[in-house]
């Protein structure tokens, strides 16, 4: 058995180091893009794998399952879902400024539909990707690293010729940090790169002459143009974007609003939520100008149509949509990427600077490789040209040699010992030969047809071309301006072939302001049945249907339509509901569950008391709990703006049994679950704050609980049923607070 050594260390230190290692792994190797190629590892590996599989833009599509499986097996052992999701996003033209993958099949939609399973979809590289992202991989321009099990080599970074980080943007959540970079227009980005290469002292403001702002694939309008400079200088900030709304005239003098472009942040479920929000504005009476809304979007583009009433103010309604829905939204910018092996938040100029440095590095390695190949060609060509001049001697050497080794030794070193010559002159000439190793091998490999005159002439021309290339490559490598010209020429070619017009408008727009129509104040009646369905009706409607309304509804309350409903529950909370949020309509309308318009949860809470918020302004509320605690609270304490507050403090295992309006001239009767009654004057109830527990109102027997509290004026007839008996509460003997109570016989 081998001796084992126990290392003692602080547990917290081990955990700290392990977590830091894990966090850095997520940041560098998974979640954040590299500033050089603008790609996350999963994107880079997927594109490289497609390149290796030969799934080029001019070849047939291949099943995505094959691509995902091969990528996972060779380069990215983190599960197939992450690879397929990355592949899908790179094929979605509504998410990327320039798509990198040409998808065939269902790759999802702008409205949030997911892509089909990978076994059904097919893909291949886009022409742009093949031409701009993966070109020259055979010219030793990037480093290759071992994969996770060291059986394959994968690129450290792809030789991307444009600032992909800006063109396609990026989104990613790491540990303790996140990146969010908007997409930009390819032509503008290329122009900015060229401007930086011509003057590296250029400011961010000057760069923004070329890059106007983000260019989202969904179009829309950036409305805070003046904020963009600080965002691009710091790398962080908020961009306000709006959808594009046009007013179309209809027959009969009616108008309709047509939304043809949406904010980038509305991609997916945001469109469905927008439609629901517009419906909610109509249902809650925020506007009565909308007649109909329909989503006519198709593959051709977004088209959401909102039909308006005759005479409706289209501009005011458009501003309302900007203010009340996600038709105007915020895109949070945090231009975080991996630079030099560490995460860094960069401004626009810094990103372009990193990109240009990377391009010069790529160009240097590329032209060094090309120069080396041309110099090798030159060496061989010079050898063949020289050989043509002494071809008779070379043939004599070959015929007189006993082996290839002897012939090569003669050609490279002038060694004539093992070769038979026809004359001593030939031997002397052969002894002077000094071909290089490569030249000698090329001579030995040369075919006889190469001695034809035209072939020799072609060789001479090829040699001249090689010398020109060497001169050109040396000039590029030795002079900054020459290399810059080559990079700029390549950028111009990319811009001409792949550039397209800007889709997002950039402007300074005024804050969306709309005039909300003031609700005409009127008295209404609130009705709620025992199932929690609530509605409000006109007072006259209630009076006409009073008998049916009283029998069918559990709660009936007269109030103003501009007020608020206060709902007190057994959990000690008070929920507020705007009367405007409760549907107003016909008597036979079903209504809306009260849970839908408030924080009240019918599954966990029971309603103890309902009242109008205005009623509390000049009143005091009496509270009684299951454990017999009582108090009264000034009603103004419940005049708050919050939707939900704690109405009273409860001890453990306690709950609110009763809440009601109290006055000093009232009598109070507390009733326990076992049938004990205690009557005392309301003046004995102390006034407390809503955050207090209160005082004991009744001594309860073991396991007994307070069931109800009754408040009535002295002299009034108030009868309740207890068991088989009917109890007249006014005739009960008046006692003191904190008494045990009695069990009346009837």
d(CA 734, CA 667): 9
* Sign of the alpha-carbon torsion through 64, 65, 69, 72: positive
CA-based R_g, the chain, Å: 42
d(CA 191, CA 199): 12
d(CA 117, CA 101): 17
Strand stretches in 136-195, DSSP E: 144-146, 153-155, 170-173, 178-181
Question: For residue 428, what are the contacts with CB-CB under 8 A and spacing of at least 6?
Answer: none
Tell me if residue 120 is catalytic.
Answer: yes
Q: HSE (CB half, 13 Å, CA atoms) of 73?
A: 6
Strand stretches in 58-155, DSSP E: 62-63, 101-104, 122-125, 144-146, 153-155
Write down the catalytic residue from 11, 57, 61, 120: 120
- Residue 251 contacts residue 342 (beta carbons within 8 Å): no
Q: How many CB atoms lie within 10 A of CB 349?
A: 19
- Residue 734 contacts residue 667 (beta carbons within 8 Å): yes
- Torsion angle defined by CA atoms of residues 473, 479, 480 and 485, in that order, rounded to the nearest 10 degrees: -50
> Treating both helix axes as pointing N-terminal to C-terminal, what angle do 480-498 and 453-478 enclose, rounded to 10 degrees?
100
d(CA 162, CA 133): 8
Tell me whether residue 586 is exposed, middle or buried, using C-beta atoms within 10 angstroms of its C-beta: 0 to 12, 13 to 18, 19 or more. exposed
Candidates 105, 56, 98; CA nearest to 84 is: 105
Residue 658 token pair: 């009763």
Strand stretches in 321-435, DSSP E: 328-334, 336-339, 342-345
Query: In 401-534, which residue ranges form alpha helices assigned H by DSSP?
Result: 404-413, 424-431, 437-445, 453-478, 480-498
The residues carrying an active-site annotation are 120
């Amino acid at each position: 058995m081998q001796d084992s050594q126990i290392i003692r260390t602080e547990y917290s230190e081990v955990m700290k180091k392990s977590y830091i290692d894990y966090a850095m792994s997520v940041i560098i190797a998974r979640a954040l893009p590299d500033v050089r190629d603008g790609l996350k590892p999963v994107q880079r590996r997927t594109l490289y794998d497609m390149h290796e599989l030969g799934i080029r833009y001019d070849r047939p599509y291949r099943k995505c399952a094959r691509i995902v499986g091969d990528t996972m097996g060779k380069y990215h052992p983190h599960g197939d879902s992450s690879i397929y999701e990355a592949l899908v996003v790179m094929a979605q033209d509504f998410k990327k400024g320039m798509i990198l993958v040409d998808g065939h099949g269902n790759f999802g939609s702008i409205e949030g539909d997911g892509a089909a399973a990978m076994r059904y979809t097919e893909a291949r590289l886009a022409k742009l990707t093949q031409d701009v992202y993966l070109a020259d991989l055979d010219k030793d321009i990037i480093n290759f690293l071992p994969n996770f099990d060291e059986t394959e080599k994968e690129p450290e970074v792809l030789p991307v010729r444009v600032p992909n980080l800006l063109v396609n943007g990026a989104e990613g959540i790491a540990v303790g940090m996140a990146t969010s970079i908007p997409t930009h227009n390819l032509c503008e980005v290329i122009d900015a790169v060229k401007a930086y290469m011509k003057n590296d002292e250029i400011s961010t403001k000057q760069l923004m002459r070329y890059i106007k702002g983000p260019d989202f694939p969904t179009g829309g309008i950036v409305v805070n143009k003046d904020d963009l400079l600080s965002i691009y200088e710091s790398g962080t900030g908020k961009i306000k974007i709006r959808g594009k709304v046009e007013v179309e005239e209809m027959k009969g003098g009616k108008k309709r609003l047509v939304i043809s472009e949406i904010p980038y942040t509305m991609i997916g479920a945001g469109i469905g939520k927008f439609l629901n929000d517009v419906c909610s504005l109509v249902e809650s009476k925020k506007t009565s100008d909308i007649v109909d809304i329909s989503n006519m979007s198709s593959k051709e583009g977004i088209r959401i149509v909102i039909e308006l009433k005759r005479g409706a103010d289209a501009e005011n309604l458009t501003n309302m949509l900007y203010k009340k829905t996600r038709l105007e939204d915020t895109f949070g910018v945090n231009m975080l990427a991996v630079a030099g092996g560490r995460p860094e938040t960069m401004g626009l100029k810094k990103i372009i600077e990193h990109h240009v440095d990377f391009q010069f590095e790529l160009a240097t390695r590329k032209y060094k490789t090309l120069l080396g190949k041309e110099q090798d060609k030159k060496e061989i060509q010079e050898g063949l040209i020289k050989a043509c001049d002494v071809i008779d001697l070379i043939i004599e050497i070959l015929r007189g040699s006993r082996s290839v080794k002897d012939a090569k030794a003669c050609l490279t070193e002038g060694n004539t010992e093992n070769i038979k010559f026809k004359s001593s002159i030939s031997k002397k000439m052969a002894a002077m030969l000094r071909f290089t190793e490569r030249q000698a091998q090329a001579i030995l490999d040369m075919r006889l047809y190469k001695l034809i005159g035209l072939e020799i002439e072609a060789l001479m021309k090829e040699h001249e071309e090689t010398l020109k290339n060497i001169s050109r490559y040396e000039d590029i490598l030795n002079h900054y301006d020459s290399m810059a010209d080559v990079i700029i020429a390549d950028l111009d070619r990319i811009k001409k072939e792949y550039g397209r017009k800007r889709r997002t408008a950039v402007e300074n727009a005024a804050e969306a302001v709309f005039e909300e129509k003031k609700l005409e104040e009127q008295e209404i009646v609130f009705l709620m049945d025992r199932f929690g369905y609530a509605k409000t009706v006109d007072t006259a409607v209630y009076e006409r249907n009073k008998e049916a309304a009283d029998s069918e509804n559990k709660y009936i309350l007269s109030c103003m339509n501009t007020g608020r409903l206060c709902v007190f529950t057994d959990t000690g909370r008070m929920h507020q509901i705007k009367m405007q949020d409760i549907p107003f309509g016909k008597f036979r309308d079903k209504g809306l569950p009260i849970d839908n318009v408030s924080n009240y949860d019918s599954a966990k809470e029971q309603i103890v008391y309902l009242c109008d918020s205005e009623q509390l302004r000049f009143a005091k509320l009496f509270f009684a709990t299951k454990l017999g605690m009582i108090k009264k609270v000034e009603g103004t304490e419940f005049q708050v703006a919050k939707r939900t507050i704690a109405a009273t403090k409860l001890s453990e295992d306690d709950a609110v049994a009763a809440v009601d309006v109290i006055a000093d001239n009232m009598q109070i009767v507390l009733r326990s679950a076992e049938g004990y009654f205690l009557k005392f004057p309301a003046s004995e109830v102390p006034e407390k704050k809503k955050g207090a527990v209160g005082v004991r109102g009744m001594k309860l027997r073991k396991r007994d609980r307070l069931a109800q509290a009754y408040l009535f004026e002295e002299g009034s007839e108030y009868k309740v049923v207890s068991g088989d008996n009917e109890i007249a509460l006014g005739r009960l003997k008046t006692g003191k607070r904190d008494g045990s109570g009695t069990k009346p016989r009837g």
